[in-house]
Amino acid sequence: MSKNTELSTVPSFIRNTVAKIHPLDHTFLIHKVKDAWVEISYGEALEKIDAISAWFLHIGIRKGDRLSLIIENGPNYVYYDQALQQIGAVNTSIYPTLTENEIEYILNDSGARTIICGNPFLFRKVLKVANNCPELIRLIPAFDDFEKFSDKVSLNAGVIGFEQVIAEGSKLLEQYRHAINAAREAILATDTSCLIYTSGTTGVPKGVVLTHHNLTQNAINSLIQIPFVEKTDRFLSFLPLSHVFERTIYHIAIYRGSQIAFAQSLELLAKNMGEVKPTILCCVPRLLERIHDKAIKSGTSAGGLKTKIFLWAFEIGKKVRLVQEAGKSPNVILKAQHGIAEKLVFSKIKEKTGGQLKFMVSGGGALPKNIGEFFGDLGIVILEGFGLTETSPVMAVTERHRVIYGTVGRIIPGIEVAIQNVDTKHIYSIQTHDNFKEDTLTEEGEIIVRGHCVMKGYWNKPEETATVIDSHGWFHTGDIGRFFRGNLQITDRLKNMLVNAYGKNIYPTPVENTYLKSPKIEQVFLVGDKREYIAAIIVPARETLQETFNLQNDFFERPEVFIDDKEIVEWIGADIRKYSNELAKFERIKSFKIKRNPFSMDEGEITPTMKAKRKVIEKKYAADIDELYIGETEED
């Protein structure tokens, strides 16, 4: 039997790891309990996983049943997921930030039978809608004293604590061990592994159906592209496992035998990095932008000699990066200078990441070119990946020895990616991993893909599936891009494109990224579709704003959504004018409002990967956006 046949299902990964890579007593998971980091071995994890599987079978869960999770990253997610996967059930994760109505919709659309809830806040959300979900038979709170919430409610479904599930399952294990093993062996690569409901930037959530083949092939082929993930590595997990990007990293870690440590929260990420000392970190562009902004601010705020040394170090880092990108080695003088820069500046920044990082993977959105170059100058490799939930997700990822900033890398093995004219549907070029050429340059168009990564379809939505997967098997991503120097390069989402009143096309993302170079700006939301000019809602960088104008925290608690202080408006306006010079006239922001607080997931304004939900924001702030268009301007 070939390796790919053996490892064609999600539960086969962990079984292979304990059979061929690590002994059962080797550390698998790491999490913080109170003030101490606790290590969990493969053996300990598998005991709980098998116990939960036994309990599932005992209550009548069968192959194909959807089992839901609304829980933070941590060992309990892994136990529950691996337990359901190995009996052929379907992981139906729900983002913790979703509303009660959205949770109810997903539970009913999927027909979920059970749901694990990570904390009292999430449990209370589920309690409010549970009786509206007729297929739901068990609620499983994964925390203590849950009875004080559930005892107040008359429920159709049963409630049982996660610890009790494991305890009961342990007693049932011998009775069900053969059935568990048989169920695991009976899983086909074509069987459904998970439903992932796209939060999306528009519309009602759709359940993306991904098979075991989709997920295992995506992990295996991504690793062909980045073969230097090793069994000695340690991942730090903090992006939600309900998102396909982090889920893939979790599969890769298990496949390779790498350890997985769980950050306590985004707020404690920096502290946790120092404690855990990860070798690999996966993140979204917005986080890297924040690290960049803080490093620049810290390095330049002191003034005098310290600032000169900081800027000099990054000039040296840039020279070294450019030499290495040209396939050469730095000369003796540049090497010596780089050693000094490393000691005086770079090492201090790297220490804050734990000092052990081999590389970081950025996904979930396009990484601005200047941010990638900053980390390259610093000596931290950023590998950028690209894909969608519907593509399992990875379609392309940067090769470590061929980093071309502003691109998302080479196509992974086993799939085809093409660029198609949006209007004529003419295909300019079809690229694969094997036909890669460094001088490939194509026209811009919609990115389409076919192969092992393409989803089975949208759950219960055959018509919507047919609109995105054509008769030739091509999945239409809705992303605009091209091939540049052989690598895939993303411009923006097709549906994000703004067409001004004069018929000129503006893609918001590259324009927004230009303005995000300003240390004064945290978020930019461009508007201007069918309008005479481009306008924007700007969110200032809070810390910089507070320091510049000596503002207290209560300034950000005021009820007014927008800031109209003339000094602050002019302060932001100066950088709007400065960075506008890098853009075509019709792309420049002519009018803007300053939003007091950031767009947030809690308000439903951004996705879990921090991308703006355009329709939500445009509708919510419609009257404010209209105010940006009082008066007219001439065509540029």
> Can you tell me the distance from the alpha carbon of 408 to that of 399, in angstroms, rounded to the nearest whole number?
9
Residue 324 contacts residue 410 (beta carbons within 8 Å): no
Q: Do domains 3-15+23-187 and 497-627 have the same CATH topology?
A: no
For domain 291-355+357-490, give its CATH number from 3.40.50.1370, 3.40.190.10, 3.40.50.1390, 3.40.50.12780: 3.40.50.12780
Can you tell me the mean pLDDT for 300-309? 92
Q: What is the model's pLDDT at position 1? A: 36
pLDDT in tens, 111-155: 999 999 999 999 999 999 999 999 999 999 999 999 999 999 999
CB half-sphere exposure, 28, CA atoms < 13 A:
27
Give the CATH number of domain 497-627: 3.30.300.30
Domain boundaries, the chain: 3-15+23-187, 291-355+357-490, 497-627
pLDDT score for 633: 52
List all residues 6 or more positions away from 323 whose beta carbon is below 8 Å from its beta carbon: 329, 330, 334
Q: Which pLDDT does position 503 carry in this prediction? A: 83
Q: What is the DSSP string of 557-606?
A: GSS-SEE--HHHHHHHHHHHHHHHTTS-GGGSEEEEEEESS---TTTTSB
Distances (CA, A) of 390 to 196, 207, 364, 451: 9, 10, 13, 12
| Contact between 36 and 60 (Cβ < 8 Å) | no
Average pLDDT, the chain: 94
Q: Which residue has the higher pLDDT, 333 or 203?
A: 333
Note the CATH architecture for domain 3-15+23-187.
Answer: 3-Layer(aba) Sandwich (3.40)
pLDDT at 628: 95
Q: What is the mean pLDDT of residues 346-355?
A: 92
CA-to-CA separations, 287 to 239, 293, 516, in angstroms, rounded: 11, 10, 13
pLDDT of residue 4: 43
* 46 in Cβ contact with 54 (< 8 Å): no
Per residue in 388-414, pLDDT tens? 999 999 999 999 888 999 999 999 999
Neighbours of 413 (CB within 10 A): 17
Q: What is the DSSP string of 172-183?
A: HHHHHHHHHHHH
Give the phi and the psi of residue 419 in degrees, each rounded to 5.
-110, 125
Residues constituting the chain: 636
For residues 217-245, average pLDDT = 95
pLDDT for the residue numbered 373? 95
pLDDT of residue 632 exceeding 60 = no
CA distance 121 to 124: 5
Q: How remote is the C-alpha of 167 from its chain's centroid? A: 34
Cβ(372)–Cβ(195) below 8 Å:
no
248 φ/ψ angles, rounded to the nearest 5 degrees: -65, -40
| Overall average pLDDT of the 490-514 stretch | 88
The confidence score (pLDDT) of residue 602 equals 84
Query: Is the per-residue pLDDT at 3 higher than 80?
Result: no
- What pLDDT does 604 receive? 86
Neighbour count for residue 26 (Cβ, 10 Å): 16
CA angle 488, 493, 495 (to 5 degrees): 150
How far is residue 70's CA from residue 131's CA, in Å, rounded to a whole number?
A: 17
Residue range 449-469, pLDDT digits in tens? 999 999 999 999 999 999 999
Predicted confidence band of residue 494 (pLDDT cuts 50, 70, 90): confident
Give the strand order in the sheet containing 206-211: 158-159, 138-141, 114-117, 66-70, 90-93, 192-198, 206-211, 457-458
**Lowest-confidence region among 12-21, 358-367, 428-437, 552-561:** 358-367
Amino acid identity, position 362? S
Q: Quote the CA–CA distance of 8 and 211 in Å, as a whole number.
A: 10
In this predicted structure, the answer to whether residue 80 has a pLDDT above a threshold of 90 is yes
CB-hemisphere CA count at 13 Å for 148? Answer: 6
pLDDT mean over 366-382: 92
280: left (phi over 0), alpha (psi -120 to 50) or beta: beta
The stretch 82-108 carries a mean pLDDT of 95
Q: What is the pLDDT of residue 609?
A: 79
C-alpha of 377 from chain center:
24
Say how many Å lie between the first and final Cα of the chain, rounded: 65
